[in-house]
């Protein structure tokens, strides 16, 4: 029996595993980097061991340090979570070699399936060895790991080498393994997977299908179970292939077999020899705790002959600290408040007031809804997200709500190209026109001694806010009876709540203010602007500013000040939250300044380079003067 479990991971998945352990009476041990010294998973564990450093390569990818931590803390078992070392056979061997119980499949099964190239060969498939024009488009993928890292679509042969290099660098940083391969890219396919669970006695459960087609940067955003519209025959075929893959490697534990489905044809993608991020939707549909089952299987228990019956439908949305309208750029800062309404499941590695840093994945939480039907589950999740309180960095919350309510998703007609087609419409700003006024009225509450009510009529008070990238001005007056504004009736105003009557309809606005001029009015984020602009904030035309905090990991070869550049030329690369982000020339011209240096840590808005745009020559003078 497991008495003390170390989770070789961080954040949301560590907290989720700890929750099951507490219910089972198992003592928990966390490992933490310097950046995670006060993280939620560190605080929630019964014991925690420091891994010196902040980057994954220094900490969560150091299997030797993690095994030592388990022994020092008195743990008798290790759960790898997902990502990091969860599919590393050498780490599994190191765990068992130290006399610890490994909660997962055997190192041999991991070795056979964790490399996508070896897994494909096991299933009778081969990656592309030499790519030609006829093979395009193709997908470059990391052989180890997942989560969209080390993955690139290539549509032009001339781009292949650069994308291979970028994918290798990203895969090496995220997984400690830079091996990549190339396979055909299927346009318009659906990402469908099968959850499997197998014990050491020969029983394999195909525990339902999931659809994970809504993805950005090849990383899943919304997942659901069961996958809609497959039909009984295709579902049976996916089950058969998944069970065959598990039996081929004597698989033990929880795993996922992934497919790209086009019509009635299923293309095998890979087998993930670990728990998936989206496992909660399968738990909701089958009424099981997959982590608890993992622990029992590791202890040698048998599964029942058949899995429990499925009931209803479940949908999960991943809440990311990122800006979908700004090339999905990750965001950092303080997560002041995160809460969802009752009736949905929230899995998170953050508590109110926790910082969102640059070193790890930008996922803040997973929100899961279950219903008797797909339509009921989708509606419940969209409503819960819309009413959720998320105060802090910019997130993809609005995108999630709109995606769930999009007619293509509602009709289960989505595929992996969903955001390629609809991102612009889904991220179109839809500001609440009364949010700035509510913020201004809440701020003005109690300010009657100076600038307040006067006997003589005077100009209105004004405040300016930035909302969805646009400046808005709110005007109001102090009167004998309180605050007033044109076009509305102010029924109530205090520092935390404003009630307006707009065209006969009563509307309530909850207002929360934070340091730095950040204001949240219901779900709308605003930034209070100073009365007088700061001249120092102006930048020279062509300035390239860091869109996120991160590390400069590469500068284009041969790039020096004075060089001519073309529009779209990659100039440098930032690494933030385990992903590489390319900074390109905004226009053709001359690089007049290059401030970025490889290894440099930069904050949002840091000046990286300046490109002076070339101007077209004016018309020639008519005549000889």
- Give residue-wise pLDDT tens across range 537-546: 557 788 999 8
Specify whether 301 is located in the same domain as 319: yes
Specify whether 198 is located in the same domain as 258: yes
* Domain membership of residue 24 as a residue range: 4-103
Specify whether 329 is located in the same domain as 417: yes
Read off the pLDDT of each residue in 273-287 and give the average, rounded to a whole number.
97
How far is 254 from 291, CA to CA, in rounded Å? 9
Q: Which residue has the higher pLDDT, 34 or 143?
A: 34
Q: Taking Cα atoms as reference points, which of 113, 157, 402 lies closest to residue 268?
A: 113
- Answer yes or no: is pLDDT of 324 > 80: yes
- CATH number, domain at 248? 3.30.470.20
Say what the pLDDT of residue 623 is.
42
Asked if residue 80 belongs to a domain, the reply is yes
Q: Which of 278-287, 306-315, 574-583 has the lowest mean pLDDT?
A: 574-583
Read off the pLDDT of each residue in 28-37 and give the average, rounded to a whole number.
98
Asked if residue 411 belongs to a domain, the reply is yes
The residue out of 426, 458, 485 marking a domain boundary is 426
Q: Where residue 206 falls among pLDDT bands split at 50, 70, 90?
A: very high
Q: Where residue 304 falls among pLDDT bands split at 50, 70, 90?
A: very high
Please tell me the total count of domains within the chain: 5
Say what the pLDDT of residue 449 is.
46
Asked if residue 174 belongs to a domain, the reply is yes
Asked if residue 110 belongs to a domain, the reply is no
Specify whether 206 is located in the same domain as 299: yes
Backbone CA torsion sign across 603, 320, 271, 213: negative
**Quick one: tokens of 557?**
């070869």
Read off the pLDDT of each residue in 326-336 and give the average, rounded to a whole number.
93
Q: Where residue 256 falls among pLDDT bands split at 50, 70, 90?
A: very high
Say what the pLDDT of residue 616 is.
54
- Answer yes or no: is pLDDT of 78 > 90: yes
Classify strands 27-32 and 101-102 as parallel, antiparallel or unpaired: unpaired
Q: Which of 135-139, 148-152, 236-240, 376-380 has the lowest mean pLDDT?
A: 148-152
Q: Which residue has the higher pLDDT, 451 or 368?
A: 368
* pLDDT over 90, % of the chain: 75
pLDDT in tens, 466-507: 998 899 999 999 888 889 999 999 999 999 999 999 999 999
Asked if residue 209 belongs to a domain, the reply is yes
Say what the pLDDT of residue 450 is.
47
Specify whether 89 is located in the same domain as 41: yes
Specify whether 350 is located in the same domain as 223: yes
- Answer yes or no: is pLDDT of 536 > 70: no
Say what the pLDDT of residue 621 is.
42
Specify whether 254 is located in the same domain as 347: yes
Asked if residue 417 belongs to a domain, the reply is yes
- The beta strands (E) that lie in 217-301 are given as 219-225, 253-262, 265-272
What DSSP element (H or E) covers 451? none
pLDDT in tens, 549-569: 888 999 999 899 999 999 999
Specify whether 464 is located in the same domain as 374: no
The residue out of 426, 455, 483 marking a domain boundary is 426
Asked if residue 24 belongs to a domain, the reply is yes
Specify whether 393 is located in the same domain as 498: no
Specify whether 197 is located in the same domain as 289: yes
Most confident of 62-71, 439-448, 476-485: 62-71
- CATH number, domain at 456? 3.30.700
C-alpha to C-alpha distances, 259 to 227, 235, 262, nearest whole angstrom: 12, 12, 10
How far is 22 from 90, CA to CA, in rounded Å? 29
Q: Is the peptide bond before 371 cis (omega within 30 degrees of 0)?
A: no
**Quick one: tokens of 443?**
């701020």
- Answer yes or no: is pLDDT of 350 > 60: yes
What's the chain's average pLDDT?
Answer: 91
Q: Which of 140-149, 357-366, 522-531 has the lowest mean pLDDT?
A: 140-149
Q: Which of 168-182, 220-234, 309-323 has the lowest mean pLDDT?
A: 168-182
Asked if residue 109 belongs to a domain, the reply is no
Q: Which of 161-175, 282-296, 442-456, 460-474 has the lowest mean pLDDT?
A: 442-456
Please say whether the beta carbons of 28 and 7 come within 8 A.
yes
Read off the pLDDT of each residue in 153-162 and give the average, rounded to a whole number.
91
Please say whether the beta carbons of 291 and 275 come within 8 A.
yes
- Answer yes or no: is pLDDT of 392 > 60: yes
Specify whether 206 is located in the same domain as 332: yes
- CATH number, domain at 587? 2.40.50.100
The residue out of 134, 161, 184 marking a domain boundary is 184
Q: Which of 281-285, 291-295, 479-483 has the lowest mean pLDDT?
A: 479-483
Residues 6 or more apart in contact with residue 483 via CB below 8 angstroms: 441, 444, 445, 476, 477, 490, 493
- CATH number, domain at 14? 3.40.50.20
pLDDT in tens, 404-433: 999 999 999 999 999 999 999 999 999 899
- CATH number, domain at 143? 3.30.1490.20
- Answer yes or no: is pLDDT of 227 > 80: yes
Specify whether 238 is located in the same domain as 311: yes
Say what the pLDDT of residue 622 is.
45
- Answer yes or no: is pLDDT of 451 > 50: no
Say what the pLDDT of residue 425 is.
96
């Amino acid at each position: 029996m497991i008495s003390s479990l170390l989770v070789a991971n961080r954040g949301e998945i560590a907290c989720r595993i700890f929750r099951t352990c507490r219910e089972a009476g198992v003592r928990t041990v966390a490992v933490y980097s310097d950046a995670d010294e006060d993280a939620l998973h560190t605080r929630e564990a019964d014991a925690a061991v420091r891994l010196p450093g902040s980057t994954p390569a220094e900490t969560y990818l150091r299997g030797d340090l993690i095994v030592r931590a388990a022994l020092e803390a008195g743990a008798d078992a290790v759960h790898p979570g997902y990502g990091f070392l969860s599919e590393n056979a050498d780490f599994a061997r190191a765990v068992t070699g130290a006399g610890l119980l490994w909660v997962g499949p055997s190192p041999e099964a991991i070795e056979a399936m964790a490399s996508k190239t070896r897994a494909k060969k096991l299933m009778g498939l081969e990656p592309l060895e030499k790519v030609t024009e006829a093979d395009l488009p193709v997908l470059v993928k990391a052989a180890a790991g997942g989560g969209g890292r080390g993955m690139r679509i290539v549509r032009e042969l001339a781009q292949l080498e650069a994308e291979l290099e970028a994918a290798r660098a990203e895969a090496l940083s995220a997984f400690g393994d830079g091996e990549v391969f190339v396979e055909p890219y299927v346009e318009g396919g659906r990402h469908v997977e099968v959850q499997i669970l197998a014990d050491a006695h020969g029983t394999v459960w195909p525990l339902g299908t999931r659809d994970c087609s809504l993805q950005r940067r090849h990383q899943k955003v919304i997942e659901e179970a069961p996958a809609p519209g497959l039909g009984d025959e295709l579902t049976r075929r996916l089950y058969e292939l998944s069970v065959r893959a598990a039996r081929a490697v004597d698989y033990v534990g929880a795993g996922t077999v992934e497919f790209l489905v086009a019509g009635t044809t299923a293309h095998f993608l890979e087998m993930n020899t670990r728990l998936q991020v989206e496992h909660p939707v399968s738990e909701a549909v089958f009424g099981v705790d997959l982590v608890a089952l993992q622990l029992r299987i590791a202890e040698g228990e048998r599964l029942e002959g058949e899995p429990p019956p499925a009931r209803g439908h479940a949908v999960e949305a991943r809440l990311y600290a990122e800006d979908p309208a700004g090339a999905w750029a990750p965001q950092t800062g303080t997560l002041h408040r995160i809460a969802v309404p009752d009736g949905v499941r929230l899995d998170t590695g953050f508590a109110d007031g926790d910082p969102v840093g640059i070193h790890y994945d930008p996922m803040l939480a997973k929100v899961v809804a279950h219903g008797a039907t797909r339509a009921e589950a989708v509606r419940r999740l969209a409503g819960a997200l819309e009413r959720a309180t998320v105060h802090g960095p910019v997130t993809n919350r609005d995108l999630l709500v709109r995606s769930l309510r999009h007619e293509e998703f509602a009709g289960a007609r989505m595929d992996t190209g969903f955001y390629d087609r609809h991102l612009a419409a889904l991220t179109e700003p839809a500001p609440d026109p009364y949010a700035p006024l509510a913020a201004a009225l809440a701020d003005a509450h109690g300010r009657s001694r100076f600038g307040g009510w006067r006997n003589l009529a005077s100009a209105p008070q004004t405040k300016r806010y930035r909302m969805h990238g646009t400046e808005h001005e709110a005007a109001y007056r102090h009167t004998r009876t309180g605050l007033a504004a044109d076009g509305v009736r102010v029924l109530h105003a205090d520092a935390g709540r404003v009630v307006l009557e707009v065209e006969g309809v009563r509307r309530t606005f909850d207002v929360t203010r934070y340091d730095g001029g950040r204001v949240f009015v219901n779900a709308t984020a605003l930034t209070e602007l100073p009365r007088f602009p700061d001249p120092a904030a102006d930048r020279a035309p062509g300035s390239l500013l860091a869109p996120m905090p991160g590390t400069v990991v590469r500068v284009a070869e041969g790039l020096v000040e004075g060089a001519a550049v073309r529009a779209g030329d990659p100039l440098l690369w930032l690494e933030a939250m385990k992903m590489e982000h390319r900074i390109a020339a905004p226009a053709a011209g001359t690089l007049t300044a290059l401030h970025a240096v490889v290894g440099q840590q930069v904050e949002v808005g840091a000046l990286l380079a300046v490109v002076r745009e070339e101007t077209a020559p004016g018309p020639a003078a008519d005549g000889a003067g």
